[in-house]
Structure 1
Amino acid sequence: MADLQQFRYGHVLEFMSPENQALVAHYLTLLQSRQYAPLTLEGRIRALKSFCDRLSPRRRCVIARDLTQTTAEDIDDWLQTVRSLGLAPSTIHNTLTPLRQFFAYLHDEGHLARQPIRRHRHGVILPESLPCPMAEADIVAFFRVIDSVRNRLIFLLMLRCGLRVSEVQHLTWSAVNWEAESVRIDKAKGQVDRVVYYTSDVAQALRQRQALGNGGTAYVFPSPYKRRVGQPLSKRGIQHLMTKYCQQAQLTTSYSSHNLRHNLEYPIMPSRFEKKRRTSGVTTHSTLHD
C-alpha cells in the first residue's frame, strides 16, 4: 500500500484518517507513474490542505475522516470563505483545478457518487492580462542594489534565459555546458526539456559563482541552512530576495520574480562585480561577496 509520507509535504495531511491518507497516496502514486513532476504532486497535497483548512470545524472533521463525504455545498462554503479572505481569482482557480481532478479520480474509482465541483456552479472567471515586464529603469535600479554574486546570478538567469523560479532553484552544475554557453533544463513545466543559451554577463556571474564553491552539493544555489544541507535554495527564499531588492531600489511598482522572464531582449548591463563600473559617467567601486 502506498504511503503518503513518501511524498514531499505528505506530512501536512496527517490530520486525515488513515483511510483518507491511503486514498491520497494511491492517487499520487498513479500520477507519479504517469511522470507528473514532483512540484505537481506537492500542489495536489497543498490544495487538499487548503481546502480542509477553510471549511467549518464540523465539516472539516467529517471530511478529514472521509473525503468521499465532500459535497457541492462544501465547495460553496469554501469559495465563500476564500473570497471573503481576499484571495486572488488565480489562487482560487489554482486550488480548485487540482481538487477537481482529485475528486474526478475518486468518482472514477467508485468512491464518490458525484463530482462535488460543478463547472457552472463553481467556475472562477480569471482576468486575462498581458505579461508585465519590468521597466528598463527599474531593471537597472534593481540590479544596482544587488551586492551578492549568488543573488545577481539568480536574477540574471531569469532575465537573460527566461528561467522560472523553480528552474533556478533546482539548477545543477552538471546542467551548465560551458563550451556551448548554455543551460539544460530537464522536465520543466509540462515535462518539457529545453536548452537555453546565456549571455556574457551570465557567463561571468557563473564563473564567479563557481569560484566561490557550492558547499559540496550539486546545486548552483544550495540552501544556506544547516537543517536543509544538500537541498536547493527555497522558492520562498528567492521570492524574499526579490522583494528585498525591490524595496532597496525604491521601486514604486510591485514586481515578482516572474516579471523578469518578460525582459529577455534587455541589453547587457555593466556588471556590479567588476573591479570598477561606470554609471552616469562616474566610476565607482563595488563590494563583492557571496
Structure 2
Amino acid sequence: MPSTLLLDRVEQFLDYLSVERGSPANTISSYRTDLLQFAVYFSRDVDEITTGTFDEIRPTVIAEFAVTLRNSGLKPNSTSRKIAAIRSFFAYLHNEGLVSRDPSQDVPLPKLGKSLPHILTIEQARNLVTIPLKTSSSNSAVRDEAMLQLSYASGLRVTELVSLNLENVDIKSQRVRCMGKGQKERIVPFHNQASERIQLYLDTARPIFDKNGSTEALFLNQRGGQITRQGFWVILKKYAEINGLSDAITPHTLRHSFATHLLQGGAPLRHVQELLGHASISTTQIYTHLTTDFLREEYETAHPRARFNRD
C-alpha cells in the first residue's frame, strides 16, 4: 500500500494543476496514473514516509523505476512521459518546501530515437491531390482539391494552411504568405496546378460557402466558417481511403512528402529549410535520411549487380 502522505501530496499536486495551472482533465488523469504507479513502486521498500519531507526518496529510486518501466517493454516515449510527470511533481514539492532537494533532477529522461516521418511516393502524392475532382464535381470537392494541392505544393503546416486568409494568397505571383511558429512570417511559392485549383475554388465554391460575404478566411466549410485542423484531417482521411492510403496518412504527410520530394529532386537543404520555416537546419536534416533510403531503393532496383545479389 503506498504511503498515505505521498498519496495526499499527489492529490495536492493534482489540485494545483487543476486550479492554479488550469491543466486539462486528460492531462491531470495522465499525471495521476503515472504518479500512482510510481507511488506503488516506491512503497515496495518504504511502507510510510516518516520525516514529512520526502527525503527518503532518492534519485536511485526514480532511476530504478525508469529501468523497470523499460524492462517491462514500455515504449521510450511513454517512459519519458512518466519520468517527466515525476519531475513536475517533485519540482512542485521543492517549491512548496516539502523536499530539501529535488531527487528527480539527477535522473535523465530516456533518450528518444527520432522516428522518420512516413512519406508518399511522388505518384501517391499526385493521385491523392487530384482525386477530389475525379470523384465529384461538388463545391466541397473543389475546395478539397484546392486545399490538398496547396498543401503539397507549399509544404505548409496544417495550422498554417487552415489559418490562411484571402489576402495571404497571391494567385498572380503564385505565392502564399503564412505565419509560422514563433510568429515568423514566410513567403512560399506554389505551382500552376495549385494556382488553377485555388482560382477555381475562389470563383465557384467559396462564394457559395461565404453566403454573407463576411469572412476573410480562405478555406471555408459549408456553414461559412473557417476549416479547422480537424476538418482538414477528415478531408485528408477521406481521400486517403479512396486511394488505399489510410494507414500511411497523418495530418502532416503532405508536408513531409513535399520536403522529401524536393530533396530527391536536388533542392539544397538550406532552401528546403526556408520553405518549411524550420528555425534550425537540424530539424530539416531528418528528410535527408528519407532521401538516402529512397536512393538506396532506386539503386537496388536499377543497378544490375544489386539486382543480381538480391535475387
Q: Smaller-chain TM-score range? A: 0.5 to 0.7
Q: 1:53 to 1:258 in 2, by over 3 A?
A: same
Any conservation in 2 of the 1:75–1:116 contact (CA below 8 Å)? no
For 1:126 and 1:98, the matched residues in 2 are separated by 13
For 1:104 and 1:55, the matched residues in 2 are separated by 11
* Cross-structure match for 2:232: 238
For 1:202 and 1:135, the matched residues in 2 are separated by 19
For 1:185 and 1:104, the matched residues in 2 are separated by 40
1:214-243: CA deviations, max 9, x gaps?
523222223446xxx74x323223223222
For 2:20 and 2:110, the matched residues in 1 are separated by 27
* Cross-structure match for 1:120: 107
1:137 to 123, 126, 150: 123
1:202 to 184, 194, 197: 194
1:31-180 pair list within 5 angstroms: 47-48=27-28, 50-52=30-32, 89-90=76-77, 106=92, 110=96, 113=99, 118=105, 120=107, 123-147=109-133, 148-180=141-173
Give the deviation of 1:185 after TM superposition.
Answer: 1.4
1:189-234: CA deviations, max 9, x gaps?
2442211111111211221222222523222223446xxx74x323
For 2:249 and 2:221, the matched residues in 1 are separated by 24
* Cross-structure match for 2:218: 220
For 1:52 and 1:223, the matched residues in 2 are separated by 39
Q: What CA RMSD, in Å, does the superposition of the two structures yield over aligned residues?
A: 4.7
Which sections of structure 1, spanning at least 5 residues, go unmatched? 1-15, 29-41, 60-68, 268-290
Q: 1:155 to 1:102 in 2, by over 3 A?
A: farther
Give the deviation of 1:124 after TM superposition.
Answer: 3.3
For 2:231 and 2:112, the matched residues in 1 are separated by 28
Note if 1:249 corresponds to 2:243.
yes
Give the deviation of 1:162 after TM superposition.
Answer: 0.8
Q: Counterpart of 2:107 in 1: which secondary structure?
A: helix
For 2:151 and 2:186, the matched residues in 1 are separated by 15
Give the deviation of 1:22 after TM superposition.
Answer: 4.5
Give the deviation of 1:183 after TM superposition.
Answer: 1.5
* Cross-structure match for 1:262: 256
For 2:110 and 2:95, the matched residues in 1 are separated by 27
1:148-183: CA deviations, max 9, x gaps?
121112222221111011111212212223443221
TM-score by length of 2: 0.52
Judging by fraction of residues, say which structure has more helix.
2
For 2:162 and 2:64, the matched residues in 1 are separated by 36
In the alignment, residue 119 of structure 2 is paired with which amino acid? Answer: P
For 1:174 and 1:98, the matched residues in 2 are separated by 42
For 2:169 and 2:97, the matched residues in 1 are separated by 47
For 1:217 and 1:85, the matched residues in 2 are separated by 51
Note if 1:193 corresponds to 2:191.
no
In the alignment, residue 220 of structure 2 is paired with which amino acid? Answer: P
Q: Whose relative contact order is higher, 1 or 2, with alpha carbons under 8 Å and at least 6 apart?
A: 1
Q: Counterpart of 2:21 in 1: which secondary structure?
A: helix
In the alignment, residue 186 of structure 2 is paired with which amino acid? Answer: R
* Cross-structure match for 1:276: none
For 2:87 and 2:144, the matched residues in 1 are separated by 37
For 1:48 and 1:76, the matched residues in 2 are separated by 24
* Cross-structure match for 1:36: none
Which sections of structure 2, spanning at least 5 residues, go unmatched? 1-13, 40-53, 134-140, 266-311
Q: Counterpart of 1:205 in 2: which secondary structure?
A: helix
Q: 1:74 to 1:23 in 2, by over 3 A?
A: farther
1:241-264: CA deviations, max 9, x gaps?
222222211238622232211333
